[in-house]
Amino acid sequence: MIGKEILDKYQMTVGIECHVQLATNTKLFSGADNDERDKSPNTVVSPIDFGLPGMLPVLNRGAVDLAIKAGKALNSPIEHISRFDRKHYFYPDLPKGYQTTQMYQPIIGPGEIDIPMDDGESFKVRINHAHMEEDAGKLTHHGNYSLVDLNRAGTPLLEIVTEPDIHSSAQAKAFVIELYRLMTYAGVTRGDLYHGNMRFDVNTSAALKSSNELGIRSEVKNLNSFRSVERAIEFEFYRQVELLEKGEIIVQETRGWDESKQRTTSQRNKEDSQDYRYMPDADIPPIVLSNEEIELIQSSVPQLPPFYRESWKILNLDSTVINALIASQSTAQLIQRILEKSGTATAARRVAIWLLMAVEGQTDDSGIVQNTGIHATDDHLIELSNMVEKNELSSTAAKEIFYEMNRRPAVAPRDIAIEKNLIQVSDETEIFNIVDSVLDDPAFKKAVMDLENGNEKVIGFLVGQVMKKSQGKANPALVQKLIKERLKI
């Protein structure tokens, strides 16, 4: 066992490569359906994806547009000229004997993104570049034979490559979550992690903090959940520190993640690494983009998480709360609309807290909100907030109405409040009469005397009696104020 004090001697360094499947209708170079989910094997494959003789790629402009949008989300520049290259290797899931990728001139150049942590701090991760490429098919192994499914072959990918700027598994997790949000917010990917819409390769190394050099890295490939990214990095760091402590040498290698055993296993080391014989792909002319074209496409990108974090500073919410709300794009957009339409931070803050309850119940293990269940209209939410503001509703009553509004979005909150008899009585004369009747009630005479004699605790009991008599509609703060006024204390 390696203790914490030993682990602390070492610096962890992590760089991440993320393959994002682009949410185009058709594949990168063919007209075949790009949504392979729940399709029978080899049913969404065109002659181009199949690698028939004489077939030529036809670049899907939709994929280029999504890459341009991704560039905005990654805060990284779009290159005015980018090209495709061929990466050669033989494998049955690779129909042409090469993968069409962008080796020499990728579409997205170097940039930097800010990654927020839950404690409110943030750190920067530099993007080395991001390039477009096609996905390969899949093999399934059956005893002494294997089957090829090319449904996924030719699916457009954007591979995002970071610099080694990550130094803890928590940072890594925060990075992949933020990347997920950026890519889904910008509409670049469908974001279905279960179906491999985003897959991560993590490069981890360990070195003594006293050393200036990076350690030898291992690469764990094909992680498809935030949790597995975090766990694989932790495992690799521990494994490498253990070896280093024993005086052993780390070998540069590719490792796989065993989800059931929660550990990595060696797949191949550097000596087995292939020569991919990269060469320019002469079948695809360069992608040439003007500034105007890039701006036009990027102008359709919706607001991204950093915008909301900035905009919501006036809401005075915890960073954990903000991160939880940003987990759902529709929720973030809703809060922003409330802020803009109502013009008040209090309304937006109030709505944000209601939404938080809704979102928290719908967030899965990986921090992804599947369905918020919010159906209430913006105007109704503002109205609900106003009713609380005017003391017409207690916060408990507002919550109840909020839930009901999502079940019956056509009904106004006031109508629900009336129907459920939840309107607070804030009319002073009406409450004054109830207060009078309670204070004059012989049954409470002792309590009134105790209060007059300075026993402040009793006031709660008296407020409770007034509330009871008003059937819960009286505003408790107002009741307390009126009792004090009447007794002149």
Partner 1 sequence: MTISEVLTKIKDTSARAVVENSLKLAKENEEYHALLSLTAERALKRADGVDSGKISGKLAGVPFVVKDNFLAFGAPTTAASKILENFNAPLQATAVEKLEAEGAICIGKANLDAFAHGGSTENSAFGPTSNAFDKTRVAGGSSGGSAVVTALGVVPFALGSDTGGSIRQPASFNGVVGVKTSYGAVSRYGVVAMASSTDVIGCFATNVSDAEFITEIITGRDKNDMTTLPDFFEVQANSKTNQKIGLVKDFMTNDVDPEVREKVNEYVEKLKSAGHSVEEVSLPMAEYALAIYYIIVPAELCSNLARYDGIRYGRRAEGVTTLAELYGKTRDQGFVTENKRRIMIGSYVLSSGFFDAYYLQAQKARTLLIDEFNKLFETYDILIGPTAPTPAFKLGENTAEPIKMYLNDIMTVPTSLAGLPAISVPAGKNQAGLPIGVQLMGPMKSDAKIFALAKSMENK
**Candidate list 81, 208, 214, 279; residue touching partner 1; CB under 8 A:** 279
CB of 144 to partner 1, least distance (A): 10
CB of 54 to partner 1, least distance (A): 4
**Tokens at 361, concatenated:** 């119940």
284 binds partner 1 (CB under 8 A): yes
489 binds partner 1 (CB under 8 A): no
Q: Which of residues 17-56 bind partner 1 (CB under 8 A)?
A: 47, 50-56
CB of 48 to partner 1, least distance (A): 9
Determine the interface stretch with partner 1 among 207-215, 222-230, 276-284, 392-400 (rule: CB under 8 A): 276-284
**Candidate list 6, 25, 80, 97; residue touching partner 1; CB under 8 A:** 97
DSSP element (H, E) containing 429: helix 428-439
Nearer to partner 1, 276 or 444 (CB): 276
Residues 226, 200 contacting (CB under 8 angstroms): no
Determine the interface stretch with partner 1 among 179-187, 272-280, 327-335, 445-453 (rule: CB under 8 A): 272-280
135 binds partner 1 (CB under 8 A): no
Determine the interface stretch with partner 1 among 201-209, 274-282, 362-370, 450-458 (rule: CB under 8 A): 274-282
**Candidate list 7, 148, 216, 411; residue touching partner 1; CB under 8 A:** 148
Measured CA angle at 370 (ends 401, 405), to 5 deg = 15
Nearer to partner 1, 141 or 246 (CB): 141
Distances (CA, A) of 132 to 59, 63, 73, 158: 11, 8, 16, 5
286 binds partner 1 (CB under 8 A): no
- Which long-range contacts (C-beta less than 8 Å, at least 24 apart) are formed by 217-220? 217/13, 217/15, 217/252, 218/250, 218/252, 218/253, 218/254, 218/255, 218/264, 219/253, 219/254, 219/255, 220/254, 220/255, 220/256, 220/257, 220/264
Burial class (CB in 10 A: 0-12, 13-18, 19+), 333: middle
Q: Over the range 76-101, which residues count as b (16 or more CB within 10 Å of their CB) and which as e? A: bbbbeebbbbbbeeeeeebbbebbbb
Residues 176, 16 contacting (CB under 8 angstroms): yes
CB of 148 to partner 1, least distance (A): 7
86 binds partner 1 (CB under 8 A): yes
Determine the interface stretch with partner 1 among 212-220, 248-256, 283-291, 388-396 (rule: CB under 8 A): 283-291
